[in-house]
Structure 1
């Protein structure tokens, strides 16, 4: 009963993590049609920022942001907020919101310019991160947004960096636990339970690899890539655990499982009638 409970416990956190990833990947804000938006940061078009040429963001620097909006709807458009943010797995790791007052009549175009100080960015994120520059209306809903790739020159000890370090520690613990189980022949005799036991280390390896790719600035691991890396690594680990040889019980386990009546009969010497011979 204890071994089975441990096997289930080891399978809980990777399953929960997969559910969280799938839930965050499904989150997407709807954008109303009929609003055209262009923007640039320090004179560079935001729409041109990609994995090969990301928008570099230096902590503590001040950037000039210019936005042009065209209202193609039949009603006045009110803009109350502009937000520059970076997201990973649906989670926001850096965000800078600026309040504005702008009303655009139907069929008209307006623009706004402002200076944004990237204060505290070093403690929020580092590496290549997918972001966007979005404008919000009076209701708080997003009116328009331009996705981009940012190269944040922050610290590894930022919130995003600590997120990756936590993933690494959890993966190392899961891998060590699985290695000890293999070395001590403690894996379950059931193939499915062995596969689930090996699922956690594989899932963690996929997530850590995607995080490393982001921090090392190899490429931008968007939500699809995170899920792909984690899913492939978890599937391979599960198959390795499922196809692994059934562990043989140790001699200690055999002794523990022995029938007490057999042990008593084996250790008892029966003397002949009349008692032992002097």
Structure 2
């Protein structure tokens, strides 16, 4: 086999910016970049956001909205849209500042939440974004707090019903089926752990935290179900007693 190497550059050089390249967005609060740090959002006062947007493409990009949203477990728990029309010419940089009114946060979230700041077009197409973690000083009875309380109640109900069935010898005799019976309680426990760590401001519910916690709790619950003793119920006891009786000699 012969390899032919030439010095000809590719038809489309990789360094050539595309007109569809996303805008580079830097967001600052109180003069500090929000990337890789935790930003506190207090519902009692607005926060000023400073945006620095760089367009490395070859076409002018038109921004219509700035969206600030926080999510956990793939669910959005707060979203703020601010109309801020401006354009970013090709190969240029612009800056914009605006106050973000977060008074509704008190009833929407509490604790640490991964948050994104997105630039959207008129048709709600994302042009660029910046990511951070916010510490929401909201109420425990907010939507996110109520979600955590509901998950806790669900976990208690699931564990109670499973353990009662275990005590009454009503679980399946097959170990794998018993493990599956414990699975929902384990998943609910993992969700409670994710929300609790967030509300207590210990760990933000990011995917690299959420997935291991939920999967880990599910696996532990299934192992508990798998290794529980065989459910020797009344019917099984009667069968064992009958088998133990001496058989008449013919």
User: Normalised by the shorter chain, which TM-score bucket?
Assistant: 0.7 to 0.9
Q: Distance in 1 between matches of 2:228 and 2:36?
A: 49
Matches within 5 A, 1:1-278: 33-49=21-37, 54-250=38-234, 254=238
Contact 1:60/1:120, CA 8 A, preserved across alignment: no
**How much is the aligned-residue C-alpha RMSD, in angstroms?**
1.8
Check 1:94–1:34 CA distance in 2 against 1; reply closer, same or farther (3 A cut): closer
Q: Which runs of 5+ in 1 are unaligned?
A: 1-31, 259-278
Q: Distance in 2 between matches of 1:198 and 1:65?
A: 47
| SS, match of residue 103 in structure 2 | coil
| SS, match of residue 47 in structure 1 | coil
Check 1:228–1:48 CA distance in 2 against 1; reply closer, same or farther (3 A cut): closer
More helix by share: 1
CA shift, 1:82, in A, is 0.4
Structure with the greater alpha carbon radius of gyration:
1
Q: Which runs of 5+ in 2 are unaligned?
A: 1-19, 243-250
Q: Distance in 1 between matches of 2:36 and 2:21?
A: 22
Count of residues in Structure 1 that have an aligned counterpart in Structure 2 = 221
CA shift, 1:236, in A, is 1.4
